[in-house]
Amino acid sequence: MSFQTVLYEAAGGIARITLNRPEKHNALNHQMMDDLDAAFIKAGGDDSVSVVILAGAGPSFCSGYDLKGGSYYITPPGEDGRWQVDTAMGALADIEQRYLRIWNCPKVTIARVQGNALAAGCYLQLLCDISVAADTARLGHPAAGVGSSSMPLWQFAMPLKKARYLLLTRRIIDGATAERFDLVTMAVPEAELDSTVEGIAADALTLGPVDARYKKSVYNAALDIHGLGAAFRYHSQMNAMARLANRPT
C-alpha cells in the first residue's frame, strides 16, 4: 500500500506514521485525510505492531485543516457548494469515524509534537494515548465560527476550566503550558523529543500486541460508559446542524 501525503514504516513492533506535507505545515487536505485513515487501518490490522508513533515532517506536527487546498471539514459536498442536511450529516459523520479509528486503534499510540499543532492538528494528538510535545510547540484551537469545535475530547482529557479557557478564547499555548494544562502528556526540550518518544515506545512495546489491544479496549469502553462515545456522535451532529444554520444564501 502506497501513500501520497503520509510516510509509513513498520519495523520492530513499531509503526511510524508521518504526515508529509511539510511545505504546508502538514495541513489536512482530502488526500492526507484519506492517507492518514488508511495508515491507521493498516497499522491496526498488523499483528506484528504494538505501538504507533504519529509525527509530522518538517517544522510542524499539523497546522489543522487546509483552508485553501480543500478538506473534508470545510468543503461542502455536492455541486452547489452549499451544505444540505444529508451532505452535512454525512460529511461530519465521516470525519467522526476517522477520528474514532485513531482513538480506537488497538495499539499504543504516541504523538510526537513539534511546531504548530493547531485546531484539528491539536485534536490529532489528543486522539493518541500519549503525547510528547516540544516545550516550544504551539497548541490550541484558534479556529473561529459556529461549528468549528466538534471535539469532545477536550473536556474529557483536560480540567474543565482549562479546556473552556482555550476553546472560548482561542488562545494558543506553548508545549510547557500544554503539559501543565494536561493538553499533552509531557513537554521536553525539542532536542530531547525523539529520544523521549523512542524511550516511551520501547516501554510500551513490552505489552505486546495482544495485551495492548486488550487494555485499549477496556480503557476506551470505560470512557464510553462515562458518555464519550455519545459525545462524539452528539458533537458531530451539532457541528453539521451549525453548518446548515450558517450556510451562505
CATH superfamily of 6-245: 2-enoyl-CoA Hydratase; Chain A, domain 1 (3.90.226.10)
Q: Which residues of 108-120 are buried (b: 16+ CB within 10 A; e: fewer)?
A: bbbbbbbbbbbbb
C-beta separation of 154 from 163 below 8 A: yes
Residue 94 has a pLDDT of: 85
pLDDT at 78: 65
Which of 176, 64, 170 shows the shortest CA–CA distance to 124? 64
**Residue ranges of domains in the chain:** 6-245
Return the pLDDT at 152.
84
Q: What is the pTM of this model?
A: 0.92
At residue 248, the pLDDT reads 54
Number of H helices, E strands in the chain: 9, 9
Q: What is the pLDDT of residue 145?
A: 61
Residue 215 exposed, middle or buried by CB count within 10 Å (0-12, 13-18, 19+) = middle
Q: CA 246 to CA 101: how far, in whole Å?
A: 29
Other beta carbons less than 10 A from residue 161's beta carbon: 8
Question: Which residues of the chain are modeled with pLDDT < 70?
Answer: 69-75, 77-81, 144-150, 245-249
46, with CB counted inside 10 A (0-12, 13-18, 19+), is: middle
Residue 131 is inside which H or E element, if any? strand 130-134
